[in-house]
């Protein structure tokens, strides 16, 4: 099923709601989960903006508040973000004085990320904002409904984790940004060199 186009900036949470209430109420579950996430992110970003913190930086801060001193790769994995994105964000966060990057004397290969006092102090102001968003999001939802939602989402994650672990297809995995770019380039070259493509030119 084709989804109606939205504005370039993704539209407001109201437009997301209209999509589900009127346009395509039976759209796929994956889209519903994604849109719920988008609405949660928008609500948090609205609040983070008051403290001049981007959602992208929040993504890494919340991981480091729990486990400081991760390598850049470990931080990427914990945050669910590609390494080039992590690298760019950390450079900006370092300039803002939130983190410092260090190499250890016994391991010059890895770069470890540590919160500064400034980065650590953000926790007391920002975590309550996330807690507020969660309270707003479940307003009016009965405890039984919330428990069922949690149970269903955990089951979905378990099923997809099992599917990933059991996949025999070597190409069915999440590639690095560089590998993905190479695949796209190769696929495009292959298409351009096909007899059908040459005949159309």
Kindly give, in sequence order, each residue whose CB lies less than 8 Å from that of residue 30, ignoring residues fewer than 6 positions away: none
Q: How confident is the model at residue 13 (pLDDT cuts 50, 70, 90)?
A: confident
Interatomic CA distance for residues 113 and 91, integer angstroms = 11
Which residues contact residue 70 at a Cβ distance below 8 angstroms, ignoring those fewer than 6 apart?
A: 63, 64, 78, 112, 113
Q: Between 200 and 85, where is the model more confident?
A: 85
- CA dist., res. 173 & res. 180, Å (int): 11
Q: Per-residue pLDDT tens for 35-78?
A: 899 999 999 999 999 999 999 999 999 999 999 999 999 999 99
Q: What pLDDT does 175 receive?
A: 64
pLDDT greater than 60 at residue 6: no
pTM, two decimals, is 0.71
> Residue range 115-123: average pLDDT?
97
pLDDT for 17 beyond 80: no
137-194 pLDDT per residue, tens? 999 999 999 999 999 999 999 999 998 888 877 666 666 666 767 778 888 777 665 5
* Mean per-residue pLDDT, 108-124: 93
pLDDT score recorded for residue 110: 85
């Amino acid at each position: 099923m084709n989804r109606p186009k939205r504005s370039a900036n993704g539209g407001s949470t109201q437009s997301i709601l209209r999509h589900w209430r009127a346009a395509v109420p039976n759209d796929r579950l994956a889209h519903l989960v994604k849109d719920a996430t988008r609405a949660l992110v928008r609500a948090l970003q609205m609040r983070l903006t008051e403290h001049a913190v981007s959602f992208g930086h929040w993504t890494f801060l919340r991981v480091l508040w729990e486990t400081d001193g991760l390598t850049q790769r470990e931080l990427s994995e914990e945050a669910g973000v590609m390494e080039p994105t992590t690298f760019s964000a950390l450079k900006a966060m370092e300039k803002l004085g939130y983190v410092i990057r260090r190499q250890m004397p016994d391991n010059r290969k890895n770069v470890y990320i540590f919160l500064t006092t400034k980065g650590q102090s953000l926790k007391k102001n920002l975590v309550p904002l996330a807690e507020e968003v969660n309270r707003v999001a479940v307003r009016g939802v009965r405890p039984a409904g919330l428990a069922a939602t949690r149970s269903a989402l955990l089951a979905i994650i378990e099923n997809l984790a099992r599917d990933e672990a059991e996949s025999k297809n070597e190409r069915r995995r999440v590639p690095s940004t560089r590998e993905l770019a190479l695949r796209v380039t190769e696929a495009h070259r292959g298409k351009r060199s096909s007899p059908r493509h040459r005949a159309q030119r």
